[in-house]
Every structure is written in structure tokens, then in C-alpha cells.
Amino acid sequence: MSHLKSYTSRAAQHSNPSARHLLELMDRKKTNLSASVDVTTKAELLRIADECGPYICVLKTHIDIISDFDDDLVTQLIALAEKHEFLIFEDRKFADIGNTVKLQYSSGVHKIASWAHITNAHIIPGEGIVHGLAEVGVPLNRALLLLAEMSSAGSLATGNYTLTALDIARRNRNFCVGFIGQRRLENGEEDFIYMTPGVGLVAKGDGLGQQYRTPRQVVFESGCDVIIVGRGIYGGGNTAENCRLYREAGWNAYLERIAVKPKPIVTHILFDMDGLLLDTERVYSEVTSEILARYGKTFDWALKSQMMGVKEGEAAAKLIEYCGLEGKLTAEEYLRERNAMQSERFPFCVPLPGVLRLVKHLKDTRIPICVATSSHRHAFDLKSSKNSELFGYFEGNITCGDDKAVVKGKPAPDIFLASAKSIGFHDADFQKCLVFEDAPSGVLAGLNAGMQVVWIPDPNLELDPVLTAQCAKVLRTMEDFDPSEFGLPAF
Ligand code: 6AU
């Protein structure tokens, strides 16, 4: 994953000269700090830029708030950028049609393209804005950041809007080098630079909608590259000392991040259904307990854990043998009665905690997902009948135990191999598939398929330590799953 590498080693990924220069100078100067200097006079801007200079990789300006702007300010800013070796980022947030932004970028009083190494743009007008700016910026080796997300409360730049920014940047890589955003959007080896405002060591907000997170949250947890700090630097106390503190915090978070051992990146996700997505295991337990009670037997956890996630014929045979019911009840009779009772109760099963949030998030971020259930298709239909929101997210990607491709039931790997294939997984490295399971036999099936497994066992289940050790994670509920730990887009 690109963000687990050093800035220098990422530089080669970029064809854009400003992006390469930035990544190299960050490691050389040991800083991922950008000072955002929102002051209104030329003198103040130059003084703060000179004080911050030794500590920063990028100086961010809002040139249109300077009341005494003149060409000499530009000359002096360029001289400071050379003296301290930082890049200049004019935070212009272009937002008009291609032809207009082209003129706003190149002309007028400020002639931004002539001195700012980096600028940024909203994508609200569509891709034409990037093409317009590129006509001016590319010949000058300039770089563009797209506003994918904003730090302010109630921002509308979320969901599909944010993902569209990623798509536009992908199509304009020579100029769009990254984003203004709150978290890394892509995973894998693809490399964009993320600059993140809304950073504060102490303050949480400013009363006008700004929201602050710490440098560690931004760089280590959310995988962003440059922290943009404004009032935290120049808003009180000693400017140079504030810079030193922010630089240290941002840099330590980066060092912590690149020390992380990369895990195989997950690209496809497979979900068991019973007891994992839905609370169906409750129904199984109730019904089988009621049947066994007639024979003076109890349905204990030792038996239940052997039956969970196994094809139903095999599970029934296990039950008859375990309870010594041969001659009293056949597997077929048990199944007939059980299935009738279950059919009445299944439609009332509900998604388990954290399930809807994760499945929706994966759907929204376009990660291929599939249900891989040992249940037969008719049972799946019953269980899903009143859960259209949850199963709608899967868009028909459902592999059932009676599908042709599933020859052997769990713990054989068949169902996970078939289900991965059905959603376009053709890689040789099955570690890129992540299986969610609650049943030991399902966990084993996932491991047998060579996949990573997250085990969310029923709290009553006694955990086999060997199986536990082979799982990527053992969680209490799906609420505890953090997608970013598997290289997936963070919540
Ligand atoms: O640290 P502050 O709150 O004093 O300053 C944050 C700076 C301001 C904003 O205009 C800018 O970052 N900003 C941006 C940028 C850089 O595009 C986007 C955003 O979402 N939030 C934000 O504060 O100069």
C-alpha cells in the first residue's frame, strides 16, 4: 500500500514534477507540515512565512485576502520558498467552468499559475474544470489537488461526490496529484497525495463550522500525507515554537505509519449469512431445542458448534449420532420438522450489530462483496424476504449451499472459491479475499481456501486456540471491524 512507504520511495510513482519535488523534500526536511497563513497584509504574510519556513514543506496562501497585494509580494514569497525550500500552494478553490478558471488561474491581478506550485479546485462544475486548469498548469509543471472532502461540519462533499473526485483524478494523473480530504480513498499501489486541513493539537473547532483532528489521527489513522495548520500556528503563542510542535507531531505519526508491516490488501469480501449477517442462529437453536426436548435431549453448544455452517444433511446426521437417536428419529424426519418450524420463523430474523453499516460502506466504496451461505436457495429466500435493505447492497451476489459449483460443504473451501469467482476474483493470491464467519467449520473453510478470515463467534462458543491463531481477527461483533486495517476505505 502506497502510504505505508516513505515519501521518497513514493516520488517515483509521480510523473508530475511538483508532486515529485514535494515528496522528496518532505523526507529531506523531515516535515509533513503545511502552514496555512490566512492573514490580510503583505508584511504579516512574509513575516510568518519566514518564521515557519524552516519547519514546513508547503506554505498555503489565500492571496485574495491580502489587502496590499502587489507583484513584489510574489517576488518575496518566491525568494522565501527558495531560501527555506518549501512549495507554495495557493488555496484558490476554483469552482467555475473550464474556460473561466483558465483565465482566473493565469490572469487577473494575481496571475496564480505564474508563482503557485500547487492549487486546488472543487469538482462541482464537472471534469471540464480540470481540463481548463490543466491547459495553463501543465506547461508550467504545476500540480492540482481536488477537494474530495472538507473539514467543515455539514460538508456536502461526501459519498459518491467524493468518489467522483477520485475518478476524475485518476483520469488526469499528470496534473491532479491528489486531494484535499480527510482520509485516503484509494487502496493498493496507486498513489495520490492527501493534504488535510482541520488539524489542531488542542482546539476541537472554531465556532464557525471548522472541525479539528490531531496530526496522529490524520496521518497515522486516516493515511493522509500533509497536515495543513493555520490558526494553530499563527493564532497565539510563538509561531516558530508552534510550528516545531506540529512538525514533530505530524512527523512522528508518519514514522509510526511507515513502520507498520503491510498486510495483504483485501480486494474482495465474502460473508457467511447465518449467525453472521442475520441472527438466524437464534431460530436454529430454538427449533432444534424444542424437537430434542421431546426425546429428553438438550441442544448443547458442543453439538451446535459442530453443526453450524455445515451442509444441512451432514449437520442432521451429526445430530442424530451425537444424541443417540438412531431408530427413534431419522435425519430426514428431523430436517422435515425442523425446516417447517424454521420457515415460519426465518422471515423475522434481523441483521446483527454493525452489519448494515459495514455492508453499506463496502457497497458505497465499490468493494466487491458476496454472501456465501451453506443455506439452500429456498432458505435464503425466506431469510432475506424481510431484509431487503441488507441484501439489496449485495446486488444479487449470493452463493448458496445448493449451487452447482459448491460440491462439498464447509469446511471444504468450495463455497468461498465459487463465491469469490462469481464476483470477479481471478487473482492467484487468495489472501486478497476476506471471509467473515461465525462458525468454526466456516472459519476453516475460509482458511482452506487460502483466504484471510475475520471470526465473529457466538459469545457462547468455546474458541479453539489453533483456529483463533490462524484468523486475521477475532471480533466480538461486526461493530468492532476497522476496514482500514485491511487496506479498505476507512469509515
Ligand atoms: O487551521 P485553520 O482552521 O486556521 O485553517 C485551515 C485552512 C483554511 C481553510 O480555507 C483551509 O485550510 N481548508 C481547506 C483547504 C485547504 O482547501 C479545505 C477544508 O476542507 N477545510 C479548510 O479549513 O485556510
CATH assignment, 2-258: 3.20.20.70
Identified catalytic residue from 29, 91, 274, 410: 91
The stretch 223-228 carries a mean pLDDT of: 97
Say how many residues make up the chain: 491
Q: At what angle do helices 355-364 and 159-171 cross, to 10 degrees?
A: 30
User: What amino acid occupies position 127?
Assistant: E
Is 70 an active-site residue? no
Judge whether residue 239 has pLDDT over 80. Answer: yes
Judge whether residue 466 has pLDDT over 90. Answer: no
231 is in an annotated binding site: yes
Residue 263: per-residue pLDDT:
66
Residue 309: per-residue pLDDT:
67
Is 64 an active-site residue? no
Residue 468: per-residue pLDDT:
86
Judge whether residue 52 has pLDDT over 70. Answer: yes
Q: How many other CB atoms are found less than 10 A from the CB of residue 19?
A: 29
CA 3 / ligand 1 centre spacing (Å):
22
Judge whether residue 261 has pLDDT over 70. Answer: no
Phi-psi domain of 288 (left: phi exceeds 0; alpha: psi -120 through 50; beta: other): alpha
Asked if residue 184 lies in contact with residue 490, where contact means CB atoms within 8 angstroms, the answer is yes
Block residue for cell numbers 499563527: 234
How large a percentage of the chain has pLDDT more than 90? 84
60 is in an annotated binding site: yes
Asked if residue 199 lies in contact with residue 232, where contact means CB atoms within 8 angstroms, the answer is yes
Domain ranges of the chain: 2-258, 263-491
Q: How many angstroms separate the first and last alpha carbons of the chain?
A: 18
354 is in an annotated binding site: no
Is 91 an active-site residue? yes
State how beta strands 143-147 and 33-37 pair: unpaired
pTM: 0.61
Identified catalytic residue from 5, 93, 263, 318: 93
Judge whether residue 88 has pLDDT over 70. Answer: yes
Q: Indicate whether residue 145 lines ligand 1 (CB < 6 A).
A: no
Q: Indicate whether residue 230 lines ligand 1 (CB < 6 A).
A: yes
Mean pLDDT for all residues in the chain: 94
Residue 265: per-residue pLDDT:
87
CATH classification of 263-491, choosing from 3.30.365.10, 3.20.20.80, 3.40.50.1000, 3.30.70.3270? 3.40.50.1000
Q: At what angle do helices 280-293 and 331-345 cross, to 10 degrees?
A: 130
